[in-house]
Chain A
Amino acid sequence: DARVTQTPRHKVTEMGQEVTMRCQPILGHNTVFWYRQTMMQGLELLAYFRNRAPLDDSGMPKDRFSAEMPDATLATLKIQPSEPRDSAVYFCASASLAGAYNEQFFGPGTRLTVL
Chain B
Amino acid sequence: KNEVEQSPQNLTAQEGEFITINCSYSVGISALHWLQQHPGGGIVSLFMLSSGKKKHGRLIATINIQEKHSSLHITASHPRDSAVYICALRTSGSRLTFGEGTQLTVNP
Chain A interfacial positions (CB closer than 8 Å to B): 31, 33, 42-45, 48, 50, 55-56, 89, 91, 93, 95, 100-106, 108-109, 111
Contacts and interface: CB of A to CB of B under 8 A. Distances in A.
B44 A106 contact: yes
A105 B94 contact: no
B81 to A, nearest CB: 19
Residue from B43, B45, B93, B99 with most neighbouring chain A CB atoms (10 Å): B43
B93 A56 contact: yes
Interface in B52-96: 86, 88, 90, 93-96
Given A31-B94, A42-B98, A109 B48 contact: no
Contacts of B30: 100-101
List the 6 closest pairs (A to B, CB-CB), nearest first: A106-B43, A43-B98, A101-B31, A103-B45, A103-B48, A42-B100
Given A91-B43, A103-B48, A108-B42, A33 B101 contact: no
A95 B100 contact: no
A8 B28 CA distance: 37
B41 interface: yes
B41 A45 contact: no
A96 B2 CA distance: 29
B78 to A, nearest CB: 23
Contacts of A105: 45
B50 to A, nearest CB: 6
Nearest to B43: A106
Nearest to A44: B98
Given A43-B86, A103-B45, A108-B42, A55 B93 contact: yes
A91 B50 CA distance: 24
Given A103-B33, A103-B45, A106-B45, 15 more contacts: A43-B98, A45-B95, A48-B94, A48-B95, A56-B93, A101-B30, A102-B48, A104-B45, A104-B96, A106-B42, A106-B43, A106-B44, A108-B42, A109-B42, A109-B43
